[in-house]
Each structure stands twice: as structure tokens, then as C-alpha cells.
Amino acid sequence: MNTRIEINSIAINKLKDNHDNFIKYDIDVSLDETENTETGIKLKYKIVLLSNPTNTKLTIEGLASLFGNDLEISKQLEPDQKNIPMIVNVIYQEIFPLIFVISKSLQIPCPAYKLSQISSSIPQEIKPEEIKPEETTVKEPTQQITDDNTDGAGEIKVEQIELPSEDSNEPIIQEANVSSI
């Protein structure tokens, strides 16, 4: 089974720069069969991501070509556990890097990297200010480099850096030597 995903058009509408009230993206996907041959099928797709509350709209259109036998193609058209056709997940994974770059360059919220997580992030009845962060603190390692830390040969000596452990409450202690050029 081979797939080829093409992007024909991208449209981005951004109403304002303030995204403080952003909750999630609502998604609308449409697939239309344009060609069906013995060796494959071509589908025209349109994916629309609309931010909630409405502030940003991303629309991506293109063609998805599936090559293989009838059994392989029909498996790609079957829905998964969340009732999303498998090919839609494949298309989204192929175009997500572009969505990521565009969202970062336009400074808009980036949608989830998995299609099934897009509109399941925060229920609408919960306001963002009601969500309390977990009581986890992360200490950023800091270090000051002074003339006392050099040995005169251009090498900077770093004695210890403490990093928090993900699995336990004990810090990880690491020794490192950094050389300057």
C-alpha cells in the first residue's frame, strides 16, 4: 500500500492577535472520490480547523492517492475507534509539519499532532481560568561563568548541574566540561 498526499491550497484567516481565550480547534474534514482505477484511488480532501472561540481558521485542500489492491484500499477507508477513516489520519500526519510551521510563524495556537486529540482537549463547560496546574516544580539549571571558572587555557570548568528527575523526587547530578573555542 502506497499513499501520496498533495497539497493544492492553503488558506489562513486570523482575526486578531490575542489568543488568551483559546480552548480547542473544531475540525471539519471532507473526502470526495475523484478517480477509481484497478491500481488505486484518488480522493480530494478538505480539512478545516476552526479555533474555539472563533479567531483562526486554517483550510487545507489537496489530493490523496492510494495505490494497492482493493483490500488494502478498503482498510484505509474504514473508520478507526473514533469513527475517523484511517486515510484521514494519514493525510493529517503528512500535512501536520506544514500546519506546525505556519502556526508558529503566524503566532496562532498549534493544533494537536494527532487528529483524534484535536477537539478532545478541554470540555467547553470548563473555563481555562478554572484549570489549576499540577503542583510540580521544575528548577532550571543556572550557572554563572566568571574568570574563576577558567583554567587559563580557554577551558571552562563546570562543577555540577542539578536537574530534576522525572521519575523520582531526587535531583540528578551531572558533571560536565565545556570548552570554548
pLDDT (tens digit per residue) in 121-156: 433 333 334 433 333 344 444 444 444 444 444 444
- Which residues make Cβ contacts (< 8 Å) with residue 84, sequence separation at least 6? 29, 115, 116
Dihedral sign, Cα of residue 140, residue 144, residue 150, residue 155: positive
pLDDT band at residue 5 under the 50/70/90 scheme: very high
Estimate to the nearest angstrom the gap between the alpha carbon of 88 and the chain centroid.
Answer: 16
Fold designation for 2-127: Bacterial Protein-export protein SecB (3.10.420)
Reading the block at residue 8, the C-alpha cell is 493544492
The pLDDT tens digits of the residues spanning 19-53 come to 777 888 899 999 999 999 988 999 999 999 998 88
Does the pTM of the predicted model rise above 0.85? no
Neighbouring C-beta atoms of residue 49, cutoff 10 Å = 24
Each domain of the chain, given as residue ranges in start order, spans: 2-127, 147-179
